[in-house]
Amino acid sequence: MRANRVTLITLSVDDLARARSFYEALGWLVEHAQEEVAFYDLGGLKLGLYSREKLAEDLGKVPSDLGTGAMTLAQNFPTEDQVDAAYDAALAAGAVALKRPEKVFWGGYSGTFADPDGHVWEYAMNPFWALDEDGRLTT
């Protein structure tokens, strides 16, 4: 079995209904949801939105110990125009702008925003990585 892989990323959220509403406004389709959790299929990887209180309980921590914004999640797009359109759609859905998309030092184009719970997303066009028709990295 391959060692470098991730099968689930779980984000703690204060209000699951609000978080689901945000991601679904971005066009994400919920695969499975219960009272405290919702899962989205990312093609071999799942994203879970989980009640902050329940996640803290599972981890043996208190909810205030669970911070946000110390890492980024990223989605790549084939063109700068698509980055801009997706970024604007995220803001319209309730994201907080952190850095508008712009050309960056490494040769690409990217911008960042925070979801309603403070999780940081980067939307980017990376000229060094090819995407297939489903938006998956091929290189």
Residues 84 and 138 in one domain: yes
- Which domain range does residue 25 map to? 1-60
Q: What is the pLDDT of residue 37?
A: 94
3-class state of residue 21 by DSSP: helix
Joined tokens for residue 67: 């911070």
Q: Which helix (H) or strand (E) holds 124?
A: strand 120-125
CA pair distance 30, 52, nearest whole angstrom = 19
Q: What is the CATH number of the domain that holds 92?
A: 3.10.180.10
Joined tokens for residue 120: 């940081």
Domain boundary among 60, 85, 110: 60
Residues 74 and 46 in one domain: no
Joined tokens for residue 134: 């489903």
Q: What is the pLDDT of residue 44?
A: 84
Residues 51 and 80 in one domain: no
**What is the chain's pLDDT, residue by residue, as a tens digit (139 residues)?**
778 888 999 999 999 999 999 999 999 999 999 999 999 999 889 999 999 999 999 999 998 888 887 889 999 999 999 999 999 999 999 999 999 999 999 999 999 999 999 999 999 999 999 999 988 888 7
